[in-house]
Protein backbone atom coordinates (compact mmCIF):
# COMPACT_ATOMS: atom_id res chain seq x y z
CA UNK A 1 0.00 0.00 0.00
CA UNK A 2 1.34 3.43 -0.87
CA UNK A 3 0.90 6.27 1.55
CA UNK A 4 -0.11 9.93 1.49
CA UNK A 5 -0.54 9.63 -2.33
CA UNK A 6 3.18 8.87 -2.80
CA UNK A 7 3.01 5.27 -4.14
CA UNK A 8 5.31 4.15 -1.28
CA UNK A 9 5.36 4.32 2.49
CA UNK A 10 6.04 7.93 3.51
CA UNK A 11 8.84 9.20 5.67
CA UNK A 12 8.03 10.53 9.15
CA UNK A 13 8.06 14.10 7.81
CA UNK A 14 5.75 13.23 4.89
CA UNK A 15 3.36 11.35 7.15
CA UNK A 16 3.15 14.35 9.47
CA UNK A 17 2.51 16.75 6.57
CA UNK A 18 -0.29 14.50 5.32
CA UNK A 19 -1.88 14.20 8.76
CA UNK A 20 -1.66 17.95 9.46
CA UNK A 21 -3.49 18.66 6.18
CA UNK A 22 -6.21 16.07 6.96
CA UNK A 23 -6.70 17.35 10.51
CA UNK A 24 -6.64 21.01 9.52
CA UNK A 25 -9.35 20.19 6.95
CA UNK A 26 -11.43 18.71 9.81
CA UNK A 27 -11.27 22.06 11.64
CA UNK A 28 -8.94 21.08 14.51
CA UNK A 29 -7.27 23.95 16.39
CA UNK A 30 -4.12 21.91 16.96
CA UNK A 31 -3.52 19.82 13.80
CA UNK A 32 0.28 19.78 14.18
CA UNK A 33 0.26 18.80 17.86
CA UNK A 34 -2.36 16.11 17.27
CA UNK A 35 -0.42 14.68 14.31
CA UNK A 36 2.85 14.57 16.27
CA UNK A 37 1.23 13.04 19.36
CA UNK A 38 -0.51 10.35 17.31
CA UNK A 39 2.61 9.44 15.31
CA UNK A 40 4.74 9.33 18.49
CA UNK A 41 2.12 7.01 19.97
CA UNK A 42 2.09 4.72 16.90
CA UNK A 43 5.90 4.53 16.84
CA UNK A 44 6.35 4.37 20.63
CA UNK A 45 8.83 7.28 20.65
CA UNK A 46 8.83 10.75 22.19
CA UNK A 47 7.80 13.80 20.15
CA UNK A 48 11.39 15.07 20.30
CA UNK A 49 12.74 11.80 18.91
CA UNK A 50 10.08 11.85 16.19
CA UNK A 51 11.20 15.22 14.90
CA UNK A 52 14.81 14.09 14.92
CA UNK A 53 14.09 11.18 12.55
CA UNK A 54 12.00 13.02 9.94
CA UNK A 55 13.66 11.37 6.94
CA UNK A 56 13.19 7.78 8.17
CA UNK A 57 10.60 5.78 6.19
CA UNK A 58 7.66 4.50 8.24
CA UNK A 59 7.29 0.70 8.42
CA UNK A 60 4.06 -0.34 6.65
CA UNK A 61 2.32 -1.58 9.82
CA UNK A 62 3.09 1.69 11.65
CA UNK A 63 1.89 3.75 8.71
CA UNK A 64 -1.39 1.81 8.62
CA UNK A 65 -1.82 2.23 12.37
CA UNK A 66 -1.16 5.96 12.08
CA UNK A 67 -3.72 6.32 9.28
CA UNK A 68 -6.32 4.68 11.57
CA UNK A 69 -5.47 7.01 14.46
CA UNK A 70 -5.64 10.10 12.24
CA UNK A 71 -9.03 8.97 10.93
CA UNK A 72 -10.40 8.81 14.50
CA UNK A 73 -8.97 12.23 15.31
CA UNK A 74 -10.44 13.59 12.04
CA UNK A 75 -13.85 12.53 13.41
CA UNK A 76 -12.97 14.69 16.47
CA UNK A 77 -12.51 11.81 18.91
CA UNK A 78 -10.59 13.42 21.83
CA UNK A 79 -6.89 12.57 21.96
CA UNK A 80 -7.12 11.06 25.48
CA UNK A 81 -9.69 8.49 24.25
CA UNK A 82 -7.53 7.58 21.25
CA UNK A 83 -4.41 7.20 23.38
CA UNK A 84 -6.23 5.55 26.32
CA UNK A 85 -4.20 7.55 28.80
CA UNK A 86 -3.70 11.22 29.72
CA UNK A 87 -1.25 13.16 31.83
CA UNK A 88 -2.34 15.05 34.95
CA UNK A 89 -0.07 16.35 37.73
CA UNK A 90 2.84 14.50 36.09
CA UNK A 91 1.01 11.15 36.35
CA UNK A 92 -0.56 9.14 33.53
CA UNK A 93 -4.21 8.22 34.06
CA UNK A 94 -6.19 5.55 32.22
CA UNK A 95 -9.00 7.37 30.38
CA UNK A 96 -11.79 5.76 28.37
CA UNK A 97 -15.00 6.98 26.72
CA UNK A 98 -17.46 7.36 29.60
CA UNK A 99 -14.90 9.17 31.79
CA UNK A 100 -13.95 12.84 31.49
CA UNK A 101 -10.29 13.40 30.59
CA UNK A 102 -8.61 15.44 33.35
CA UNK A 103 -7.88 19.07 32.41
CA UNK A 104 -4.84 21.20 33.25
CA UNK A 105 -7.13 23.74 35.05
CA UNK A 106 -7.93 21.08 37.63
CA UNK A 107 -4.27 20.98 38.66
CA UNK A 108 -5.00 24.40 40.24
CA UNK A 109 -7.39 22.64 42.63
CA UNK A 110 -4.90 19.90 43.57
CA UNK A 111 -2.16 22.49 44.14
CA UNK A 112 -4.48 24.71 46.23
CA UNK A 113 -5.42 21.76 48.45
CA UNK A 114 -1.77 20.78 48.97
CA UNK A 115 -0.74 24.37 49.78
CA UNK A 116 -3.60 24.98 52.22
CA UNK A 117 -2.88 21.69 54.03
CA UNK A 118 0.79 22.51 54.26
CA UNK A 119 0.11 26.10 55.49
CA UNK A 120 -2.13 24.70 58.22
CA UNK A 121 0.37 22.03 59.19
CA UNK A 122 -2.25 19.30 58.65
CA UNK A 123 -0.40 16.00 58.26
CA UNK A 124 -1.90 12.71 57.06
CA UNK A 125 -5.14 14.45 56.04
CA UNK A 126 -8.43 12.72 55.38
CA UNK A 127 -9.83 13.99 52.08
CA UNK A 128 -13.07 13.51 50.14
CA UNK A 129 -13.12 13.96 46.34
CA UNK A 130 -16.70 14.29 45.15
CA UNK A 131 -17.24 13.50 41.44
CA UNK A 132 -13.90 11.75 41.02
CA UNK A 133 -14.17 10.70 37.34
CA UNK A 134 -10.97 8.85 36.45
CA UNK A 135 -9.67 9.58 39.97
CA UNK A 136 -7.30 12.35 38.86
CA UNK A 137 -7.73 14.54 41.96
CA UNK A 138 -8.02 11.71 44.49
CA UNK A 139 -5.06 9.73 43.18
CA UNK A 140 -2.80 12.80 42.78
CA UNK A 141 -3.50 13.91 46.36
CA UNK A 142 -2.85 10.41 47.70
CA UNK A 143 0.32 10.16 45.62
CA UNK A 144 1.78 13.54 46.62
CA UNK A 145 0.66 13.83 50.26
CA UNK A 146 2.34 11.28 52.48
CA UNK A 147 -0.15 9.27 54.50
CA UNK A 148 -3.22 11.02 53.05
CA UNK A 149 -6.41 8.95 53.06
CA UNK A 150 -8.88 9.76 50.31
CA UNK A 151 -12.49 8.77 49.85
CA UNK A 152 -13.56 9.32 46.24
CA UNK A 153 -17.21 9.30 45.12
CA UNK A 154 -18.81 9.16 41.70
CA UNK A 155 -22.36 8.59 40.51
CA UNK A 156 -21.14 6.64 37.46
CA UNK A 157 -20.29 2.96 38.07
CA UNK A 158 -17.90 3.07 35.12
CA UNK A 159 -15.99 6.03 36.64
CA UNK A 160 -15.74 4.15 39.94
CA UNK A 161 -14.07 1.23 38.12
CA UNK A 162 -11.66 3.46 36.19
CA UNK A 163 -10.77 5.46 39.34
CA UNK A 164 -9.94 2.20 41.17
CA UNK A 165 -7.81 1.12 38.22
CA UNK A 166 -5.90 4.41 38.37
CA UNK A 167 -5.44 4.17 42.14
CA UNK A 168 -3.97 0.71 41.63
CA UNK A 169 -1.80 1.85 38.73
CA UNK A 170 -0.24 4.53 40.95
CA UNK A 171 0.16 2.28 43.97
CA UNK A 172 -2.32 4.12 46.25
CA UNK A 173 -5.33 1.79 46.23
CA UNK A 174 -4.66 1.10 49.92
CA UNK A 175 -5.26 4.79 50.71
CA UNK A 176 -7.96 5.63 48.14
CA UNK A 177 -11.41 4.20 48.64
CA UNK A 178 -13.74 4.69 45.68
CA UNK A 179 -17.48 4.69 46.36
CA UNK A 180 -20.52 4.75 44.08
CA UNK A 181 -23.28 7.24 44.83
CA UNK A 182 -24.85 10.67 44.66
CA UNK A 183 -22.63 13.44 46.12
CA UNK A 184 -22.28 12.87 49.91
CA UNK A 185 -24.72 9.95 50.13
CA UNK A 186 -22.03 7.21 50.39
CA UNK A 187 -20.29 9.24 53.13
CA UNK A 188 -23.54 9.64 55.05
CA UNK A 189 -24.23 5.88 54.74
CA UNK A 190 -20.86 5.16 56.34
CA UNK A 191 -21.43 7.71 59.11
CA UNK A 192 -18.51 9.86 57.96
CA UNK A 193 -19.87 13.05 59.55
CA UNK A 194 -17.32 15.83 60.24
CA UNK A 195 -14.69 13.27 59.23
CA UNK A 196 -12.73 15.18 56.56
CA UNK A 197 -9.94 17.76 56.71
CA UNK A 198 -10.74 18.55 53.09
CA UNK A 199 -13.78 18.05 50.87
CA UNK A 200 -13.05 18.90 47.26
CA UNK A 201 -14.26 18.23 43.77
CA UNK A 202 -14.68 19.23 40.20
CA UNK A 203 -18.42 18.71 39.80
CA UNK A 204 -20.26 19.31 36.50
CA UNK A 205 -20.77 23.04 35.94
CA UNK A 206 -21.66 23.54 32.27
CA UNK A 207 -25.11 25.12 31.74
CA UNK A 208 -27.21 22.43 30.04
CA UNK A 209 -28.09 24.46 26.96
CA UNK A 210 -24.39 25.32 26.39
CA UNK A 211 -23.30 21.68 26.05
CA UNK A 212 -24.32 21.58 22.36
CA UNK A 213 -22.10 24.60 21.68
CA UNK A 214 -18.94 23.08 23.16
CA UNK A 215 -16.23 21.91 20.77
CA UNK A 216 -17.19 18.52 19.25
CA UNK A 217 -14.50 16.66 21.22
CA UNK A 218 -16.29 17.64 24.43
CA UNK A 219 -19.96 18.04 23.48
CA UNK A 220 -20.16 14.91 21.29
CA UNK A 221 -17.77 12.53 23.01
CA UNK A 222 -17.40 13.32 26.70
CA UNK A 223 -20.04 12.02 29.12
CA UNK A 224 -23.00 14.36 29.71
CA UNK A 225 -23.08 13.36 33.38
CA UNK A 226 -19.61 14.90 33.75
CA UNK A 227 -20.62 18.20 32.12
CA UNK A 228 -24.28 18.90 32.81
CA UNK A 229 -24.61 21.26 35.75
CA UNK A 230 -28.35 21.82 35.24
CA UNK A 231 -30.10 24.75 33.51
CA UNK A 232 -27.59 27.37 34.72
CA UNK A 233 -24.68 25.06 35.52
CA UNK A 234 -25.23 25.61 39.26
CA UNK A 235 -27.15 22.56 40.46
CA UNK A 236 -24.34 20.27 41.68
CA UNK A 237 -22.13 22.90 43.27
CA UNK A 238 -25.15 24.45 45.02
CA UNK A 239 -26.19 21.08 46.49
CA UNK A 240 -22.59 20.35 47.53
CA UNK A 241 -22.10 23.78 49.18
CA UNK A 242 -25.30 23.44 51.19
CA UNK A 243 -24.32 20.01 52.57
CA UNK A 244 -20.54 20.12 52.88
CA UNK A 245 -20.52 21.42 56.49
CA UNK A 246 -21.89 18.06 57.66
CA UNK A 247 -18.76 16.27 56.43
CA UNK A 248 -15.88 18.77 56.91
CA UNK A 249 -14.17 18.92 60.32
CA UNK A 250 -14.09 22.27 62.15
CA UNK A 251 -10.85 23.87 60.97
CA UNK A 252 -11.08 22.04 57.66
CA UNK A 253 -11.90 23.41 54.23
CA UNK A 254 -13.59 22.75 50.89
CA UNK A 255 -12.08 23.35 47.44
CA UNK A 256 -14.44 23.44 44.47
CA UNK A 257 -13.58 23.96 40.81
CA UNK A 258 -15.98 26.16 38.84
CA UNK A 259 -16.30 27.40 35.25
CA UNK A 260 -15.12 30.57 33.53
CA UNK A 261 -17.30 33.51 34.59
CA UNK A 262 -18.94 31.69 37.52
CA UNK A 263 -16.96 33.22 40.41
CA UNK A 264 -19.55 35.95 41.26
CA UNK A 265 -22.35 33.48 41.95
CA UNK A 266 -20.05 30.88 43.53
CA UNK A 267 -18.74 33.56 45.92
CA UNK A 268 -22.31 34.54 46.86
CA UNK A 269 -23.26 30.89 47.31
CA UNK A 270 -20.33 30.05 49.58
CA UNK A 271 -20.56 33.26 51.65
CA UNK A 272 -24.00 32.22 52.83
CA UNK A 273 -23.40 28.43 52.92
CA UNK A 274 -23.86 26.79 56.34
CA UNK A 275 -20.74 26.65 58.53
CA UNK A 276 -18.47 28.74 56.25
CA UNK A 277 -16.27 31.20 58.20
CA UNK A 278 -14.23 32.60 55.31
CA UNK A 279 -13.82 32.07 51.59
CA UNK A 280 -10.93 32.33 49.12
CA UNK A 281 -10.28 31.89 45.43
CA UNK A 282 -7.45 30.62 43.20
CA UNK A 283 -6.84 31.47 39.57
CA UNK A 284 -5.78 29.01 36.87
CA UNK A 285 -2.69 29.44 34.67
CA UNK A 286 -4.62 31.72 32.30
CA UNK A 287 -5.38 34.01 35.25
CA UNK A 288 -9.08 33.10 35.40
CA UNK A 289 -10.83 32.50 38.72
CA UNK A 290 -11.10 28.69 38.88
CA UNK A 291 -11.15 27.27 42.41
CA UNK A 292 -13.23 28.40 45.37
CA UNK A 293 -12.05 27.74 48.92
CA UNK A 294 -14.44 27.68 51.86
CA UNK A 295 -13.02 27.47 55.40
CA UNK A 296 -15.08 25.93 58.21
C1 LIG B 1 -16.30 17.40 35.57
S2 LIG B 1 -16.18 15.69 35.91
C3 LIG B 1 -14.71 15.68 36.90
C4 LIG B 1 -13.97 14.40 36.93
C5 LIG B 1 -12.64 14.46 37.67
N6 LIG B 1 -12.82 14.83 39.06
C7 LIG B 1 -11.71 15.45 37.01
O8 LIG B 1 -11.53 16.55 37.55
O9 LIG B 1 -11.16 15.14 35.95
C10 LIG B 1 -17.49 15.48 37.06
C11 LIG B 1 -17.67 14.09 37.63
O12 LIG B 1 -18.75 14.15 38.56
C13 LIG B 1 -19.54 12.97 38.44
N14 LIG B 1 -20.89 13.30 38.93
C15 LIG B 1 -21.90 13.94 38.29
N16 LIG B 1 -22.97 14.05 39.09
C17 LIG B 1 -22.63 13.48 40.27
C18 LIG B 1 -23.33 13.28 41.50
N19 LIG B 1 -24.59 13.70 41.68
N20 LIG B 1 -22.69 12.63 42.50
C21 LIG B 1 -21.41 12.18 42.35
N22 LIG B 1 -20.71 12.34 41.19
C23 LIG B 1 -21.31 12.99 40.18
C24 LIG B 1 -19.48 12.62 36.97
O25 LIG B 1 -19.76 11.25 36.74
C26 LIG B 1 -18.03 13.01 36.62
O27 LIG B 1 -17.18 11.93 36.75
Residue 118: Cβ-neighbour burial (10 angstroms; 0-12, 13-18, 19+): exposed
Question: What is the structure's pLDDT at 5?
Answer: 66
Q: Residues 109, 255: contact at Cβ < 8 Å?
A: yes
With the most atoms of ligand 1 within 8 angstroms of its CB, the residue from 226, 229, 239, 244 to mutate is 226
Residue 143, classed as helix, strand or coil, is helix
Between vectors from CA 242 to CA 213 and to CA 139, what angle results, nearest 5°?
70
With the most atoms of ligand 1 within 8 angstroms of its CB, the residue from 203, 218, 229, 257 to mutate is 203
Record: fold of 86-295: Rossmann fold (3.40.50)
Question: What is the structure's pLDDT at 4?
Answer: 63
The residues, any chain, with a CB within 8 Å of residue 264's CB and separated by 6 or more, are none
113-147 pLDDT tens trace: 999 999 999 999 999 999 999 999 999 999 999 99
Residue 135, classed as helix, strand or coil, is coil
Question: What is the structure's pLDDT at 8?
Answer: 79
Q: Which of 116, 108, 136, 135 is nearest to 291 (CA)?
A: 108
Question: What is the structure's pLDDT at 161?
Answer: 98
192-218 pLDDT tens trace: 999 999 999 999 999 999 999 999 999
User: Which residues are near ligand 1 (CB < 6 Å)?
Assistant: 100, 102, 106, 130-133, 136-137, 153-156, 159, 182-183, 202-204, 225-226, 236
The residues, any chain, with a CB within 8 Å of residue 280's CB and separated by 6 or more, are 292, 293, 295
DSSP state of 279: E
Task: Please tell me the distance between residue 258's alpha carbon and the centre of ligand 1 in angstroms.
Answer: 12
Q: Which atom of ligand 1 is nearest to the CA of 156?
A: 25
Q: Which of 180, 69, 169 is nearest to 132 (CA)?
A: 180
If the chain, 296 residues long, is cut into consecutive pieces of 10 residues, what is the mean pLDDT of each piece?
A: 68 96 95 96 93 90 96 96 97 97 97 97 97 98 98 98 98 98 98 98 97 93 96 97 98 97 97 97 96 98
Say how many C-beta atoms besides its own lie within 10 A of residue 56's C-beta.
12
**Cα–Cα dist 161/179, whole Å:** 10
Question: What is the structure's pLDDT at 1?
Answer: 42
Record: fold of 12-75: Helicase, Ruva Protein; domain 3 (1.10.8)
Q: Which atom of ligand 1 is nearest to the CA of 106?
A: 8
With the most atoms of ligand 1 within 8 angstroms of its CB, the residue from 204, 206, 221 to mutate is 204
Domain range annotation of the chain: 12-75, 86-295
Amino acid sequence: MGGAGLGREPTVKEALLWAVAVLRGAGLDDPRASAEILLSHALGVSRGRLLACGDDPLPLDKWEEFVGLVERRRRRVPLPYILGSWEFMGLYFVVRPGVLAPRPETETLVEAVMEELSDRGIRRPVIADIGTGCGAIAVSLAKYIEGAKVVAVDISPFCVEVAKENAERHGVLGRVEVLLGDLFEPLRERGLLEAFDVVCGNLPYVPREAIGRLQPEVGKFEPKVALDGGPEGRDLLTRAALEAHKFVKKGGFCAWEFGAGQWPWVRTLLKSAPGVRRIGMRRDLSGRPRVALAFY
